Structure 1
């Protein structure tokens, strides 16, 4: 009986202390440590002043501590910190944003179509300068974070219009780029030699499947369904492009270099061996 009363006084003291100050990220972890469930914690958030840090790094840390997606979503809604939209990857336990790269131009493989008297389709290839991406990622435990803007869907004035019109990573395709000496290229369409019709987009046979986990509030965790070998890759938006001068001449590209895990191990020679 005494233990029950003591425990109740401790809980009351904690609640009274929290009521006198703003809730922080640590406050949520403290409530979880006391054994409170999601509904109680959400009620406390809704009835309190808050000062949450909902940056990408902090959200990742909270998720690892076991904070549920619905609590994270409510924290973001109550937070005064703006959520940055885009595609991110993990590097040294930190989330790094992938800035989109712009295609330098397009070209059509008209030679093949000409040799078949227009029967074969001509491929439309978009190319981007530089043989490798500036975004270097590790193929081990490779995951990406997609953050969409669910509050400003009609505001397309910024460069992040992909994340204001799209609502899921399903509207993006993951594919490998063909690496050239000083550029990378991607087949982004084809022109029919018979009907002269144009079909834009990436062939589904050339895409790489990925798993999607909804983390709440427009945030998704994307994990490739297979280990990606060394090479150049990108996420390409295939959803509906908004009217008003917008185009889809950008990709979210990244490079996977030869990992030490896959490098061939050379035999170690002793000092007595002949060289």
Structure 2
């Protein structure tokens, strides 16, 4: 009798289980579940932009992603812009990649994990190299000094340390600059003089004569300016700056109030 009841109970249980839909972890569903934790990519950002999500929402998704795998070389930036991704979203992608340590320029450049406080209000700048590497540059501020030279007072902007944290072997790197201002006359590529005595790097600015008059105040001295070619990208608020000639090994920077410093190694 007990065995009969047991068989009836088992049959009832099997009937109930057969009527319940039990999800199975197939390879496809396993991939779907694991993809929810996958790194955020350029394609994800483009998808959100094309669906009409605002910049603030997309930036929140970028900043809230557990990991990111953004491709931010020059061609990638152009594709993002052409796909309708806004400038501030692209800037958020660059900053997130930089903060996550993913923005080293493929061995050609590396960014310091921490550095001096940034100069407020400056443009957004990314250094890119011929091998496809890129690194987001941070602006630093310096201190002013003056030197008497016969009938002229020389003015210098001095920056801490004798070498920039960002280094490259590319003698002619380019710079992607997000700025509403035309670069020529407002953004300069400059060479820096290393002062081993003071353990810093200096940039000569305009000068003043003892009997009155000041010249080129706030602009780098012509001897320190590096000629460059500029190309407008996207909607006109993004520019590509490239030195007209190869840079010699030494210390350099983009100067626009603050200094986006980098160094060229042999």
Give TM-score scaled by structure 1 length. 0.53
Greater Rg by CA: 2
Query: What residue is the counterpart of 1:117 in the other structure?
Result: none
Once superposed, what is the RMSD of the aligned Cα atoms? Answer: 3.6
What is the CA–CA distance in structure 2 between the aligned matches of 1:26 and 1:190, rounded to whole Å? Answer: 51
What is the CA–CA distance in structure 2 between the aligned matches of 1:198 and 1:58, rounded to whole Å? Answer: 40
Contact 1:233 1:254 in 2 (8 A): yes
Relative to structure 1, is the Cα distance of residues 76 and 197 closer, same or farther in structure 2, using a 3 angstrom cutoff? Answer: same
Deviations 1:120-172 (A, max 9, x none): 11101121111001111232451111112xxxxxxxxxxxxxxxxx5222221
Aligned residues: 176
Once the two structures are TM-superposed, the CA of residue 193 in structure 1 deviates from its matched residue by: 1.1
What is the CA–CA distance in structure 1 between the aligned matches of 2:228 and 2:153, rounded to whole Å? Answer: 29
Relative to structure 1, is the Cα distance of residues 60 and 195 closer, same or farther in structure 2, using a 3 angstrom cutoff? Answer: closer
Relative to structure 1, is the Cα distance of residues 191 and 81 closer, same or farther in structure 2, using a 3 angstrom cutoff? Answer: closer
Relative to structure 1, is the Cα distance of residues 225 and 61 closer, same or farther in structure 2, using a 3 angstrom cutoff? Answer: closer
Query: What residue is the counterpart of 1:189 in the other structure?
Result: 206
Once the two structures are TM-superposed, the CA of residue 204 in structure 1 deviates from its matched residue by: 3.0
Q: 1:123 aligns with which of 154, 163, 173?
A: 154
What is the CA–CA distance in structure 1 between the aligned matches of 2:73 and 2:133, rounded to whole Å? Answer: 11
Contact 1:229 1:256 in 2 (8 A): yes
Q: 1:173 aligns with which of 179, 182, 188?
A: 188
Once the two structures are TM-superposed, the CA of residue 232 in structure 1 deviates from its matched residue by: 0.5
Query: What residue is the counterpart of 2:81 in the other structure?
Result: 72
Query: What residue is the counterpart of 1:263 in the other structure?
Result: none
Matched, 1:209 2:266: no
Name the SS of the counterpart of 1:81 in structure 2. Answer: helix
What is the CA–CA distance in structure 1 between the aligned matches of 2:215 and 2:240, rounded to whole Å? Answer: 34
Q: 2:244 aligns with which of 213, 225, 244?
A: 225
What is the CA–CA distance in structure 2 between the aligned matches of 1:211 and 1:178, rounded to whole Å? Answer: 23
Structure 2: give runs of 5+ residues left out of the alignment: 1-40, 63-69, 93-122
What is the CA–CA distance in structure 1 between the aligned matches of 2:223 and 2:88, rounded to whole Å? Answer: 43
Once the two structures are TM-superposed, the CA of residue 216 in structure 1 deviates from its matched residue by: 1.2
Structure 1: give runs of 5+ residues left out of the alignment: 1-23, 30-45, 114-119, 149-165, 238-247, 259-275
Query: What residue is the counterpart of 1:106 in the other structure?
Result: 144
Q: 1:136 aligns with which of 164, 167, 174?
A: 167
Once the two structures are TM-superposed, the CA of residue 26 in structure 1 deviates from its matched residue by: 6.1
Once the two structures are TM-superposed, the CA of residue 199 in structure 1 deviates from its matched residue by: 4.5
Please list, as runs of the form range in 1=range in 2, the aligned pairs for 1:15-34 lying within 5 A after superposition.
none
